[in-house]
Structures are given as C-alpha cells and as structure tokens.
C-alpha cells in the first residue's frame, strides 16, 4: 500500500477552515437537514426547523386583568369623590342590565355587556350595590382577545434554540408539538493498537482511551447526538471498515489519532480512498497534523492523538461545523485583556495556542501560561482561558498585553495566583480555599527564585519558596530581603518537609547517600534552575566535595517533585532529590537527607480578607492532618508570620 506524503505544506488555520466549509456547502451538508416533530415538553434546547405560527389568540377571550368589578364603562361616567355612583351588583351568569356590575377575579371571563374593570381597592361594596368614586375608561384593566398573540401570528422564528419561555409561548398559542432540526449524528472512532478500553486492561505500553469519551462529551455539549465506536487497532482495513460503517449512519465522523506520518498512521490514506482529503496539516500548535476531509458529502476529521491537540482542533474545526449544521451562530467568545506573567517562546510560521490561569492583581488580570505539552491533560482541567501567539511572532515577553479567550462564562472573580516552588500540599490548600469562600488557587511551578521574581514584578499573590542561604544555613528570609528590598511582602511558614533521595523500590542500585550520586552507574534526574531543591542539591554536593559535572544526568531537568518520582518509577532515572511525600505517592524508596523549611511569600494588602483566611486554614487542625498524612511533613508552626517588609504596614 502506497502512503501519501503527509502535510508537506501546512495551511494557515483560517484558509484550512475556509476550504473545508466551502466544500461542505457545495455538498449540501448545511442545507439538506432532516427534521423531526417533538412534543413541546421534549423540545427544550432544540432548534426550530421552521417558523411557528399561533393556532389561537392569546388570550382567547376578554378577561379581567384585576380583581374588582366588571361594568359597562359608560355606566361609570360622571362618578367622582364628590358625586360617587352606585351600581347594582349582578350575579355572575345573569344578563347584563344598564347600571349593573359583576364581581370578578383576575383572569375571569368578562361578562357579556361589560367592557371595563375597576380595581376592588377603588370600590366600596354595600349590600347589593357597589359604590365607585371615579369613572372607568373603556377596556380599562381588561385583557382583550389577542392582546399578547393573535391567531396566525408568528410566534417563534425558524432556527431558534428553544428556551423554557419559548415552550410556554408555543403552548399558549395552541401548539402541542414543534418541528425541530434533527441533532447531527456524530461517531467518534478511537484508533491505535496501544489503546485499551478499560482500566483493568492497562499494562506497560498500553494507554487508556479517554479522548473518545472527551470528544463525545464535547460534541453533545455542542448539540450533537454522539456515539463512541470501539477502539480500532492500527490496521488499514479495519480503520477503513469502521469509517465506512460509521458514514452510513452518521452525519459526521471523527477519527482520533493516526494523522501524523508514522508507519502506522493511516487516517489520511483511508479518507483519501473513501472520499476527498482537503487539508492534511494546519499551521497551528498544538494540532498540526489535523486532517479535514469530505466523504459521501459528510465531514470527516482526523484529530491528533494527544488530548490537548485533540480538544483544541475539535474546538477550532468541529464546533463551528456543528453550529452551522444546526443553523445557529456561535456566541462571540468572551475575552479579557491581561498581562502575561511569564515569557513565552514560540515558532515563527505557526499559530500557537496556550492555556492560561487568571488572577487579578492591582485591578488588572495576570495570565499565567500552563504546561504546553500536547499530552498534558492537567492543562485542560486547570485552564481558565486561552491565548494565541501569531504565526508572525517568535514569542511574547513577560508583561505583554494579551487577549484571553475565556473558557468559562466570565472572568474568575476570586482567584489567587501561586507562582513558585512546587509542593503537593498546595493542592490540598486549593481545596480548603474553595471550601472556605470559593477561592480558586491557580499554581505555576517555576521554582523558588521564579516565585520571588514574580512577587517582585507584581505577577502573583503567593510564592512557595525554600531557598537555603549557604552562609547561615537558614531558609528563605535572606533571599527575600535580598531580592525584594523595595517591595511589600509577608513571609508565612507553611511546613517543615523532609527532603531526600528518591530511588526505585527495593533500592536495586544499593544507594546509601549523597556520596553515591557521583557513581558512573547511576543516572540522576534534577530539578530546574532556580528551584530550591536544586539549590539544596548543590549545597550538599559542595559539602561533600562533589562537582555537579560528576553526576550523570545532572542536566536532565523536570519541574516538580512528582515529576522526579515519576521519572524514577518509569526507569528513566535511578535517583533524584525530592520530598518524601512524592516518593510515598508512587511507592518508591526514600533516603532522607534532612528537613527543609517551605514558606509562603505573600503579596496581599492588609485589607484583603484572603490573607486572614489563608492563615486560618494553615493553622487549622484538619488541614494539618491532611497534609501530614502525605508523609514527611511537620505543620506544627504552619501559618506563623515569620517576617514582613518595613513597608507592609504603609500599603
């Protein structure tokens, strides 16, 4: 089988989308849409297939709009406070007589011969009579036939998403059912010989299929009826059969994975055989190897296999097509202007999308880029917005003004930013903050030094730090005073935590301590520059007279303690320096090298209630117990104010 050349020339996103939409329009995909008739009670959220006209007027009778008396308006003329008029009370159902009136309640049928209502508050009732102090105008306080809706009048327009109020109007107008556009039927086909369906099938080299569930959920959120196909292995004939079968019963087919140029990437070839591949490769990051095709007049799209890439390309290409199929317009993306909290490097010629978290500082939004890896599922769940870097730019500097496309309904109102050293206990702190006052804690792991600089630049509220001063052997205060001489700050104790060597379970390499790190048979995994753990490592190496160059893998950097542990658990390294809790989380062995002090550097004004809330949580017994249960933590002094800047009180 001959493989076609894969995305030798990537098209700009807008051009790729235009080509695909134009071809689908030519095929009649957006015009030949089936519809179905549904009872009103089942039509919420559906799209009307045609204009709906009233079968009866609303109201369909002349009725009282107030509690009071119904009368012929002319019988009240001349009534005033100085010369009140008395009308004879008639029994409901009795024929109207001149000078007579009827007691009515709101909604009652107006008795024949009457054309006005006087409110009960303006009537004095006597035995058999009603005294009025003012004249009534004709049709006063009367809901006349068709006042709201007239029979045969347009009630609801075509291609309208039905809301609860629309259903009420349709029922009132005499409609019991409504014609709605059929939901687009979407089939999602996960492909890959490495994929498994269930957790119990996971083993090394296998990946649980989660993308297809995510894509089905997204399609349903966008108005489609989505079904998931069973996993299809990387076999050309099986993929082709799955697509052909799905095309026969679907309005759109989504293939996940197999879109690149590997020896077992068959998506583009299959679609070229079954239809027409219009685009293979779009100049975006992530998501470059997307495939846009039309088969049997229907859209078929091949999405990259990594979760972030799959979700981004689905949002860019699938969501608009499903909206057009349903004859609705996508709402304008809500955006907010923000200042970039970290420098971004990008590739010229590729439009890059980055997920960010948001927080307000000094009345302005700060956008913190999250992890950029296309496989980082965590960046999908933690993101509050998305920014893009133009294909004409090679990046954006820290402090740059960016437009953030919000992923929620509005800007997060109560968000704290934490930029600095990673610690697993911050995740627990985030839970307690949300419980306490629905405060969202957004974290960016850039190391202790990065956290101090973020405080200095007014780009974060909190910074987790554990910076050892080699001269004194003490933590944090010397560094804070050195780098923040002119900035207000508070330093709060968070925890004492145990640092040590994380090693494989059972210690197969017989590691005993720091001095073993220079052994040529050991592969080390390090933390990034500026991380407090790396500073501690360098301090310990210096103590033992060991040059960093002697460590095999000293330049291999990861961003968190859990990443150190995961690297060792995967067999990609033998040893790394990290906290006991990370080793315990992955059931690895641990050799302690001592305790260190982990503190929170805080930049919140005195009047911000979140500072007191933060201290209250840190000092609570429940929080202490949960963190200490991770292993290697001592929160005896948690929440204690260690020091503050001289300018703090003057803010």
Does residue 280 share a domain with residue 219? yes
In Å, how far are 346, 520, 574 from 516, measured between CA atoms?
40, 9, 11
Residues near 549 by beta carbon (within 8 Å), at least 6 away in sequence: none
Under DSSP, the state recorded for 333 is: P
Does residue 375 share a domain with residue 303? no
pLDDT for the residue 343: 85
Paired residues of 501 in beta bridges:
577, 591
CATH classification of the domain holding 628: 3.40.190.10
Average pLDDT over residues 350-375: 82
Q: Higher confidence at residue 436 or residue 218?
A: 218
CATH classification of the domain holding 252: 3.40.980.10
Does residue 222 share a domain with residue 157? no
CATH classification of the domain holding 72: 2.170.190.11
Encode pLDDT of 415-461 as tens digits: 889 988 888 899 999 999 989 888 888 888 888 898 999 999 888 99
Structural domain includes residue 567:
yes
Closest by CA to 564, choosing from 585, 538, 548, is: 585
pLDDT for the residue 4: 45
Structural domain includes residue 457:
no
Structural domain includes residue 475:
no
Which of residues 122, 143, 164 is at a domain's end?
Answer: 143
Does residue 572 share a domain with residue 643? yes
Structural domain includes residue 473:
no
Encode pLDDT of 497-513 as tens digits: 999 999 999 999 999 99
pLDDT for the residue 380: 73
| 489 has a pLDDT exceeding 80 | yes
Residues near 575 by beta carbon (within 8 Å), at least 6 away in sequence: 501, 502, 503, 509, 511, 516, 517, 522, 523, 524, 525, 568
Average pLDDT over residues 127-142: 95
Does residue 214 share a domain with residue 166? no
Do 617 and 611 contact (CB within 8 A), yes or no? Answer: no
Q: What is the band of 69 on the pLDDT scale with cuts at 50, 70, 90?
A: very high
Does residue 174 share a domain with residue 42? yes
Max Cα separation, the chain?
116
Structural domain includes residue 551:
yes
**What is the average pLDDT score of the chain?**
91
Does residue 197 share a domain with residue 156? no
pLDDT for the residue 399: 87
Encode pLDDT of 259-274 as tens digits: 887 777 899 999 999 9
Structural domain includes residue 159:
yes
Does residue 39 share a domain with residue 27? no
CA distance 498 to 420: 18
Q: Which domain holds residue 429?
A: 335-450
Which of residues 286, 307, 325 is at a domain's end?
Answer: 325
Does residue 278 share a domain with residue 211? yes
Does residue 254 share a domain with residue 315? yes
Q: How many CB atoms lie within 10 A of CB 55?
A: 13
pLDDT for the residue 377: 61
CATH classification of the domain holding 349: 2.40.340.10
CA distance 536 to 113: 97
Report the helix count and the strand count for the chain, using DSSP H and E. 16, 38
Q: How many CB atoms lie within 10 A of CB 217?
A: 13
CA distance 118 to 71: 8
Encode pLDDT of 157-215 as tens digits: 999 999 999 999 999 999 999 999 999 999 999 999 999 998 888 888 888 999 999 99
Which of residues 298, 325, 352 is at a domain's end?
Answer: 325
Number of structural domains (the chain) is: 5
| 378 has a pLDDT exceeding 70 | no
Structural domain includes residue 506:
yes
Structural domain includes residue 469:
no
| 648 has a pLDDT exceeding 50 | no
Do 426 and 443 contact (CB within 8 A), yes or no? Answer: yes
pLDDT for the residue 410: 76
CA distance 461 to 489: 10
Does residue 588 share a domain with residue 492? yes
Closest by CA to 568, choosing from 514, 518, 511, 529, is: 511
- Which DSSP string corresponds to 406-460? ESSSS--SSEEEEEES--THHHHHHHHHHHHH--EEEEEE-HHHHHHHHHHTT--
Q: How many CB atoms lie within 10 A of CB 478?
A: 15
Does residue 398 share a domain with residue 352? yes
- pTM of the predicted structure, to 2 decimals: 0.80
Do 399 and 340 contact (CB within 8 A), yes or no? Answer: yes
């Amino acid at each position: 089988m001959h493989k076609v050349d894969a995305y030798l020339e990537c098209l700009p996103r807008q051009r790729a989308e235009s080509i695909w939409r134009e071809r689908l329009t030519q095929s009649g995909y957006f015009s030949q849409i089936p519809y179905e008739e549904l009872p009103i009670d089942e039509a919420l959220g559906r799209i009307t297939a045609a204009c709906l006209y009233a079968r009866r007027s609303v109201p369909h009778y002349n009725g009282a709009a107030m509690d009071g008396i119904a009368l012929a308006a002319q019988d009240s003329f001349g009534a005033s406070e100085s010369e009140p008029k008395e009308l004879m009370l008639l029994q409901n159902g009795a024929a109207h007589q001149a000078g007579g009136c009827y007691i009515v309640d709101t909604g009652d049928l107006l008795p024949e011969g009457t054309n006005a209502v006087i409110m009960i508050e303006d009537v004095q009732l006597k035995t058999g009579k009603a005294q009025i102090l003012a004249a009534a105008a004709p049709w006063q306080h009367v809901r006349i036939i068709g006042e709201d809706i007239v029979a045969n009048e347009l009630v609801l327009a075509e291609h309208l998403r039905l809301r609860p109020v629309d259903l009420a109007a349709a029922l009132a107008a005499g409609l019991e059912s409504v014609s709605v556009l059929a939901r687009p039927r979407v089939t999602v086909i996960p492909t890959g010989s490495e994929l498994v369906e269930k957790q119990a099938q996971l083993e090394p080299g296998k990946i649980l299929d989660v993308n297809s569930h995510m894509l089905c959920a997204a399609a349903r959120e966008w108005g489609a009826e989505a079904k998931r196909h069973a996993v299809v292995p990387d076999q050309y004939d099986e993929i082709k059969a799955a697509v052909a079968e799905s095309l026969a019963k679907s309005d759109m087919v989504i293939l996940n994975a197999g879109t690149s140029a590997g020896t077992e990437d068959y998506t583009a070839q299959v679609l070229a055989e079954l239809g027409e591949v219009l685009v293979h490769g779009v100049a975006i990051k992530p998501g470059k190897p997307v495939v846009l095709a039309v088969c049997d007049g229907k859209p078929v799209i091949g999405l990259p296999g990594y979760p972030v890439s799959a979700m981004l390309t689905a949002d860019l290409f699938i969501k608009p097509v499903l909206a057009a199929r349903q004859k609705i317009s996508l709402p304008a993306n809500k955006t907010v202007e923000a200042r970039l909290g970290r420098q971004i490097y990008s590739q010229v010629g590729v439009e890059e999308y980055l997920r960010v978290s948001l927080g307000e500082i000094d009345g302005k939004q700060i956008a913190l880029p999250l992890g950029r890896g296309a496989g980082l599922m965590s960046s999908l769940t933690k993101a509050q917005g998305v920014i893009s870097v133009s294909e004409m730019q090679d990046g954006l500097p820290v402090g740059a003004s960016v437009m953030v496309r919000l992923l929620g309904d509005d800007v997060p109102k109560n968000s704290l930013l934490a930029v600095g050293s990673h610690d697993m206990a911050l995740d627990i702190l985030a839970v307690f903050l949300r419980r306490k006052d629905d405060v969202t804690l957004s974290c960016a792991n850039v190391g202790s030094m990065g956290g101090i600089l973020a405080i200095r630049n007014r780009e974060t509220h909190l910074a987790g730090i554990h910076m050892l001063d080699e001269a004194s052997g003490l933590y944090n205060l010397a560094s804070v005073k050195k780098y923040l001489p002119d900035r207000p700050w508070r330093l709060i104790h968070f925890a004492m935590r145990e640092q040590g060597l994380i090693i494989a379970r059972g210690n197969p390499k017989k590691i005993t301590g720091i001095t073993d790190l220079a052994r040529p048979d050991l592969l080390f995994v390090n933390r990034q520059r500026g991380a407090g753990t790396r500073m501690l490592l360098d301090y310990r190496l210096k103590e033992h007279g060991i040059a960093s160059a002697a460590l095999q893998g000293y330049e291999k950097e990861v961003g968190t303690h859990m990443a150190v542990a995961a690297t060792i658990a995967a067999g990609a390294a033998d040893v790394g320096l990290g906290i006991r809790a990370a080793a315990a989380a992955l059931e690895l062995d641990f050799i302690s090298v001592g305790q260190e002090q982990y503190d929170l550097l805080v930049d919140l004004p005195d009047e911000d209630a979140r500072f007191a809330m933060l201290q209250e949580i840190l000092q609570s017994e429940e929080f202490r117990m949960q963190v200490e249960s991770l292993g290697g933590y001592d929160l005896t002094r948690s929440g204690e104010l260690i020091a503050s800047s001289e300018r703090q009180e003057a803010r």
